[in-house]
Amino acid sequence: MAEQVPGQFTLVLHSHLPWLANHGRWPVGEEWLYQSWANCYQPVFAALRRLADDGFTDVLSLGITPVLAAQLDDPHCGTSMYEWLADWQLRAMEAATDSDPDRRNMGHREFRAAATALADFETQWRHGGSPQIRPLISSGIIELLGGPLAHPFQPLLDRRLRQFSLREGLADAELRWGTRPSGIWAPECAYTPGMETEYAAAGVGHFMVDGPTLHGDTALGRPVGDSGVVAFGRDLTVSYRVWSPKSGYPGHANYRDFHTYDHETGFKPVRVTGKNVPSEAKKPYDPSLVDPVIDKHVDDFIGAVRERLISESERIGRPAHVIAAFDTELYGHWWHEGPIWLERLIRRLPEAGITVGSLETARQSGYVGEPVELSDSSWGSGKDWRVWEGPQVQHLVQLNAEVTETALDSLDKRASHEPARDQVADQILRETLMTVQSDWPFMVSKDTAAGYAEDRAYKHAHATREICAASDAGKDRRADQLAQGWRRADNLFGALDSRRLPSREGNF
């Protein structure tokens, strides 16, 4: 056991995918969900179960967005995921009979992986994600972080819709998992002054921002203004050891290359080999080469955390708090070996004299400094809002503003004469929230399936507008038919209730 170092280390994971069910399959669509489910959520949750069984507690803060939770619980997604896993195994069987020895080895390797995933899915996931998440919460292995319903970029969202989305998102978590999160992962770590008062009103005690939002001083959480709500900042010095485009661990030559596909099977057959090596020259993936590299990267990260805790504690004159935060999908989906690295890291951190705990534990333990005033920020490029409101996505910014105005005007008209539960109003809100998801401008700005993203944004905008048009014209039967039709495709957030939308005066 190494000498104990001062302070606490917190690992934060943010799990999110946009709503993909019934909106295409390949190359972007439901395939994205099933790849992430099989390669990330299954192995990461299995690792957390093993850690809980071995007596570990409070090892990380895990954010799960309501829109991802809806997909993990959705019957269509569950059935399709099971079929996807079976298809994975069939593709592996075909590859295993190939005349090329490298493709045969790939086929055998993928067959074993598919068999493991199938067995895990049949025993753990057949009734959805909630039966997996509840035990992780009750065992104390994680702190659950919540978030707004459909992952909007909150600073650019109409205040009424922003308040509604947050409160409904927290209620959705309580409905699914029997607990209401006290902390949230704000989508894209985006912030604008005043949001902290909305967080306080919704019962949120702490939230995540990126390091530069706190001007790089992330050694303690900081209450925002006089709200009492604590902003915790990601430590970039530590976090970038893992996820840096220039030197992050997943880029090691022996790890499996994410970007190169075998187009006959859809598998990823090669290792990174080298940063400037073209795909056709990359060497076959060899699992026997990765184990010592994973250990090396675990040791390197632990060393970085120890050094940072010691140096930050000395700098501020009291025990410091260090946070490393990542998208959960990094572990397994983007970085094939990531779940193994993650589990080994969690097991070895206490042995290295490092105290590990969640954000909630840090707040309760007093890792909180003086109040601070924050400015507009995010964790995107430039740490500002350019990814979500820059020149390349102005058409989506305008679309979101127009659709939100149309929806709220129509909802206000309906509210004056529909005191009962109103499925038309509910669907208007549902489609509006789907329109303003932060994923669509992100994908356009980063040119990752930009066409799909724009199609989705305009499709949900169209759904919102045509329901509103029928409602505003007094065509109640037509509005009801349209709402039911769109609900068949976008069958999520069943508990969403438009009657809880704040009034124009800001009252719930």
Handedness of CA 6, 350, 324, 60 (dihedral sign): negative
CB atoms within 10 A of CB 120: 17
CB 232 within 8 A of CB 362: yes
Catalytic residue among 74, 110, 188, 439: 188
- Is 466 designated active site? no
CB 393 within 8 A of CB 439: no
Please give the Cα distance from 500 to 480 (Å, whole number). 20
Alpha helices in 369-420 (DSSP H): 386-389, 394-415
Catalytic residue among 295, 327, 402, 497: 327
Bridging pattern class, strands 230-233 and 222-223: antiparallel
CB atoms within 10 A of CB 83: 11
- Is 30 designated active site? no
CB 396 within 8 A of CB 444: yes
Name the token pair of 16.
């999110």
How many residues comprise the chain?
A: 508
Name the token pair of 237.
């010095």
Please give the Cα distance from 48 to 44 (Å, whole number). 6
Q: Which amino acid is at 479?
A: A
For residue 283, give the DSSP letter: P
Please give the Cα distance from 73 to 248 (Å, whole number). 33
Instruction: Concatenate the DSSP letters of all residues of 78-135 into one string.
Output: HHHHHHHHHHHHHHHHHHTT-SSHHHHHHHHHHHHHHHHHHHHIIIIITT-SHHHHHH
CB 320 within 8 A of CB 220: yes
| Residue with the two structure tokens 């708090």 | 321
CB 179 within 8 A of CB 143: no
Q: Which amino acid is at 182?
A: S
For residue 26, give the DSSP letter: S
Q: Look at residues 374, 367, 432, 440 and name the one whose alpha carbon lies nearest to residue 403.
A: 432
Please give the Cα distance from 465 to 426 (Å, whole number). 14
Please give the Cα distance from 281 to 271 (Å, whole number). 10
Q: Give 297-300 contacts, CB < 8 A, sequence gap 24+.
A: 297/249, 297/252, 297/341, 298/341, 298/344, 298/345, 298/348, 300/241, 300/249
Could you check whether the bond before residue 245 is cis, i.e. omega within 30 degrees of 0? no
Residues serving a catalytic function are 188, 327
